[in-house]
Structures are given as C-alpha cells and as structure tokens.
Amino acid sequence: MGIHRQQILAFFFVALLGFIDIRLNNAQTLVPAIITFGDSAVDVGNNDYIHTLFKANYPPYGRDFVTRQPTGRFCNGKLATDITADTLGFTTYPAAYLSPEASGKNLLIGTNFASAAAGFDDKTAILNHAIPFSTQMQYYKEYQSKLAKVAGSQKAASILKDALYIISAGSSDFLQNYYLNPYLNKLYTPDQYGSYLVGIFTSSVKDLYGQGARRIGVTSLPPLGCLPAARTLFGFHESGCVSRINSDAQQFNKKMNSAAAQLQKQLPELKIAIFDIFQPLYDLVKSPSDNGFTEANRGCCGTGTVETTSLLCNPKSPGTCSNATQYVFWDSVHPSQAANQVLADSLIIQGINLIG
C-alpha cells in the first residue's frame, strides 16, 4: 500500500471516528440493536444448543476472549462482528437466540440466529445438522413477538426499523456442500449454483424489508480458495490459493453486488451494503508481514490444515500455536481475532452509509 493511500485511509478513519464520537454523545449506541443471520463467521453459540458436530464450545476456542472461555464462536477471541459492535458503542453483545441469555431486556439490543455450517441453501444446513436459513428467518418472527412483549409494540417497531441487520452466508454452501456433492456438480455449474443462492438472498432481504428491516449489511464470500482447509482438500496441484475456487467466489460476489443494487432500486427506504471481505483477507494471505502476521498458510489450532470442528480443534490438538496474533487463521477455516480486527476496520468504513 502506498504512503498516499495510507494517508487517505488514515484521514478517513479519523473522520469516521469523529462522526462516531458525535453520534455516541447523543445516543448510547449508533444503532439500537444488531440482528444477525448466517454461518460460523457470525455464530456466537447457537450450535451449542443443537445436535451437530460443528461446535466451538471446547478450549482452545475462546482462549483469548475477554472471559478466557469458549463461547461458541469459531475463533480464539472476537469475531469481526463483535469488534464492529464495540465500535458502534455496544458494551455487551446480542445473545445467541437459542441461549438462555436471549430473553427479557437482553432482547432490546438484538439477537443472533447464525448457525455454523448453515448457508443460504437449506440443504447445506440439513446436511451438516445446522439451523437452516429459512428456520433462522422463522426465529426472527418469533423474536419480533418476544421483543414486543418486552418493549411494547411501538418501541419494538422502532428498534426493528433502526437495527443493523447482518447476513453472512454462502461459504458453507460452496465448501461444505457444492464442491463435495457430485450430484450438485452435475446439476449446476458453480455460476448457476451461485445464481440459485443469490435468488434466496434476494427473497430473504425482501422478506426482512417487509417486516421492518431497513439497514442490512451483507458479507461477501471470502477468498475461499485461500482457506487452509480448501487448500488441503482441493489444492492438490497448486502451491498457493486454489485459483478456481477463488474465481467462483469472485463471480458470486459480483452477483451479490448486482442483486443489492437492484434491491436498492426496488425498496426505496432500504440501506444495504455488501461488505467486501474478499480483498482484505486475500491481502492478508498474500502479504501477511505487511500487517504484522507471520503465518497465513495454516491455522493456529492443531495442524491448522483440516481442523474445522471442535472434534479436531480441541484441548488435545497437537501443535496449537502459543500466539494467535501472528496467525491470519485460527483454525483451518476461520480468521484469528487479530485478522478479524483488520476485517472489522474495513467493514465499518464500508458500512458507514448504514449508520448515517
């Protein structure tokens, strides 16, 4: 990154922090609530309450979190969305919807419906015994009723309108379903499957809008071909990232951007942003030392090449690193807290129009 670009980003970030500071002087948080749907990138513990292999409720997950305990997050510490919540003024995080904490006044700051190994395609979740996206949407309707009982219908409607909605899905659809499913491979090209997923995304946003949502942030696919697990499973003839998988992710991201632009035209009050996490994470993998990292080819936990569930990343995993801040990835799929900080810095800049 050139000095000139660094200076521009630094100036923008200082201006942004000033804007946030002004807003926080007039309100406790920049948005009243955060409501989250999706997969393991944003799951804060829902999978702890269902029968699935995809759990993160064992050490060493959570070892660098504030409580030094596993929280159900697939990370050594905070997710990018946690760090974003910190920036928006939240002092506690919206609870996993299936947890006992998701009740009473805790519901006023939102909730989290995400489930590790879920995707836009319900068949992805069913295959992995996760919470299907359609079920997460049903839970949102339940949440609205619960919120109205706590806050009253008028206040609840205001919270739902001004809340920040976050959607993170698609990675599991490709990595844990499409690429491993010969039937899907024959039925769809990657491009066609991507279009199918984007159709589900589009109808879901329209559904949320019809129920009062107005501020929606959606994460793009990351560079899937650079994830250590993808390199282990699919990169037999490549020394670096799996280029065809990255290409599929980029094509999908273009479709998401186009769909978001169409939704913006169709739904007049909608504020929507597609958060590009492909490029920032790709930059970390390609030039880790530029951002203070030393390892981007494997995760911190265990071998760092195949560990994607708590069955493989656990207290007895051999070789788990002592300092995760040097690693771009925590396990073979998920970024470390240090990498999530870089992603969160990018997200808050990209999403400024959602909170303005």
| 40 catalytic per annotation | yes
- Choosing from 43, 48, 172, 334, which is the catalytic residue? 334
Instruction: Please state, in angstroms and rounded to a whole number, the distance separating the CA atoms of residues 168 and 120.
Output: 9
Element containing residue 216 per DSSP (H, E):
strand 215-219
SS3 state of residue 241: coil
Element containing residue 340 per DSSP (H, E):
helix 337-350
- Choosing from 64, 173, 248, 331, which is the catalytic residue? 331
Element containing residue 34 per DSSP (H, E):
strand 34-38
Q: What is the DSSP string of 140-188?
A: HHHHHHHHHHHH-HHHHHHHHHHSEEEEE-SHHHHHTTGGG-HHHHHH-
Element containing residue 219 per DSSP (H, E):
strand 215-219
Q: Which residue has the tokens 């590009």?
A: 276
| 334 catalytic per annotation | yes
- The widest CA-to-CA distance across the chain, in whole angstroms, is 59
Q: Side by side, which strands form the sheet with 271-275? A: 110-112, 34-38, 164-168, 215-219, 271-275
SS3 state of residue 37: strand
Element containing residue 355 per DSSP (H, E):
helix 352-355
Active site residues: 40, 331, 334
